[in-house]
Copies of this chain bind each other. A is one copy, B any other.
Amino acid sequence: MTDQTVPLFDTLVIIGPGLIGSSILRRGMDDRRIARRLVACDISPEVRARVAELGIADVVETDPATAARDADCVIICVPVGAIAMVAAQVMPVMKKGAILSEVGSVKVTVMEAMQPLLARYPDIAFVPAHPMAGTEFSGPDAGFATLFEDRWCLLTPPEHTPEPAITRITALWKMMGARVRCMSVDHHDRVCAIVSHLPHLLAFTICGTADDLADETRSEVLDFAASGFRDFTRIAASDPTMWRDIFLNNREALLDMLDRFIADAQEMGNAIRTGNEDVIVSRIQRGRAIRRSLIENRQA
């Protein structure tokens, strides 16, 4: 990439400069080989003002259609439930051959909602991406240029997507510092249900369970939160709208994983009830084995 004299994109548009979108913009400002012109677009006047103050875009736009008109690539960075609606605003005005992407954490329902638009605008290449990175914070102030460094970005392009579009989105994410892999939307949603969506569901739930306890115990839960509960709440402090959309849009895979998990938790409960030490220890050891594999995979 070091010899690259022409940027990857002339005009790159980010719709929804929150945690993910503003991190893409920041990386783009730091590395001008990514795009000559970086455009941020948001419906919220507060977000637009903040993006301008932070100086993380060359242009700040209010209307998605205006922003997308000259774009070589538009990346929709809004909650999963709003992606197709935004796509319906930008696709009619986008240039022939331009690339449309999004960064949602769920892919099956997004692809379903996108089908009529993809059929209607066959000259726009659609390359969905899911950068597997994040923090417990949201909004344009939460982003940072190294958010995607050494993290995975999963691409789920539909069949017949032109190869050059996939190559360019792959190049974009590699310039963000990420590792890239392609897979089907179904497979994507199952993998994410177990590695991300179920853990978040459990974390939100345990906070509620603690909150329901008698007042005396509850106040002490806050005082004495050991590392166990603290790690859970770090997960649980994420954006409610984003997670509501993820849960509802990955319903099938998530509920399947939840059923398996509850059955396993009940088995563990039974082993504790009956004092079955072998079952207890073997389950703890499996956790350690997975942890070791994670460390070897440089994801920990």
Chain A residues with a Cβ under 8 A of chain B: 132-136, 152, 154, 181, 187, 190-192, 194-213, 216-217, 220-238, 240-241, 243-244, 247-248, 251, 254-255, 257-262, 264-266, 268-269, 272-273, 275, 277, 280-281, 283-294, 297, 299-300
Contact = CB atoms under 8 A, between A and B. Distances in A.
Which residue among A199, A203, A243, A254 has the maximum number of chain B CB atoms within 10 Å of its CB? A199
B294 A260 contact: no
A226 B188 CA distance: 13
15 contacts: A191-B217, A195-B210, A196-B226, A200-B228, A204-B286, A207-B283, A207-B289, A222-B294, A223-B299, A231-B234, A233-B287, A247-B272, A248-B280, A251-B272, A255-B272
Contacts of A227: 133-135, 196, 235
A283 B213 contact: no
A262 to B, nearest CB: 6
Nearest to A228: B199
A190 B217 CA distance: 8
Which residue among A133, A191, A192 has the maximum number of chain B CB atoms within 10 Å of its CB? A191
A225 B299 CA distance: 7
| Number of copies of this protein chain within its complex | 2
A255 to B, nearest CB: 6
B191 A291 contact: no
A290 B233 contact: yes
Contact of A192 (B226, B241, B251): B226
A204 B268 contact: yes
Contact of A261 (B187, B205, B285, B294): B205
Nearest to A220: B191
A283 B247 CA distance: 12
A194 B207 contact: no
Contact of A209 (B235, B244, B257, B281): B257
Contacts of A266: 262
A287 B230 contact: no
Nearest to A277: B244
Given A223-B297, A264-B208, A265-B205, A229 B287 contact: no
B200 A233 contact: no
A87 B190 CA distance: 51
A195 B207 contact: no
Contact of A287 (B208, B260, B300): B208
A196 B260 contact: no
A107 B203 CA distance: 26
A257 to B, nearest CB: 7
Given A132-B226, A237-B291, A290-B233, A206 B202 contact: yes
Contact of A202 (B194, B202, B254): B202
B283 A208 contact: yes
Contacts of A228: 195-200, 203, 235
